[in-house]
Chain A
């Protein structure tokens, strides 16, 4: 089937392209760090950073509503869920080095430099509204008209997930046998 009309043009504005490349590079680095690092707290921090970078990416190529939802859901709620999970179970692992150690200072300097570059690029970009697609109304309207069935199904899924996780967490903790292992129903004690 032949295409009708021309394909949308790629982004060619130099500051915006530089910003997109920077965000994508940082995103992959943060994701890889999160997948590799063994300290759980650092992994969660890298995960939250990478999701914030995804939100920044959405700011350049997607409607503003998607950016806001991504920022609220992943960067705050997901990180809060994981941190709450860590706090409720094993607690936070204390870092081996002091907060004023050499590694912390070097890491802080790298983060500050990257942040400065990010702020510089964001400040220097003219952000043409038509090019970025930001602040374009229509997504909320499409969600409530064209995709209303999917949205309704998703609300049911979210409610079921909240109910299910709440029920799982509210389940009574099994008492422990004298040997230290947990009791499992009416089966033999371990």
Chain B
């Protein structure tokens, strides 16, 4: 029993799918924001896994460095998205993107 590159890539793909599901299927802006964060995290996990186990692991700092930059970019996206959600709520008194809700 071992934990290698394949395991982390499968989990990364599954996490990305969960995030994409939240973005596509949910109508709440908060749920969609959370979904985008999962997609960012999935990409970062893949980068870290390649940095640790992949063929390019001779430069072991490359994967974590890119993952760090991805995480910070996700934080910036979250800040903007949260502000947009507040504006949407001020306008419509709801977080849902349509008037029907979920």
Residues of A that sit less than 8 Å from B by CB: 3-5, 7-8, 10-12, 14, 16-17, 20-21, 24, 27-28, 31-32, 34-35, 38, 40, 43-44, 47, 50-51, 54, 57-58, 61-63, 65-66, 69-70, 73-74, 77-78, 81-82, 84-86, 88-90, 133, 136, 138-139, 142-143, 146-147, 150-151, 154, 157-158, 160-162, 164-166, 168-169, 171, 173-174, 182
Given A78-B78, A164-B80, the answer on whether A24 and B7 have CB atoms closer than 8 Å is yes
Establish whether residues A10 and B87, one from each chain, have CB atoms under 8 Å apart when the complex forms. Answer: no
Cβ distance A150 to chain B, nearest Cβ, rounded Å? 5
Query: Interface SS of chain A: helix, strand, loop or mixed?
Result: helix
| In the complex, chain B residues whose CB is within 8 Å of the CB of A164 | 80, 83
| In the complex, chain B residues whose CB is within 8 Å of the CB of A7 | 53-55, 57
| In the complex, chain A residues whose CB is within 8 Å of the CB of B26 | 35
- Counting chain A CB atoms within 10 Å of each CB, the highest count among B26, B31, B49 belongs to B31
Once the chains are docked, how many angstroms separate the CA of A17 from the CA of B8?
12
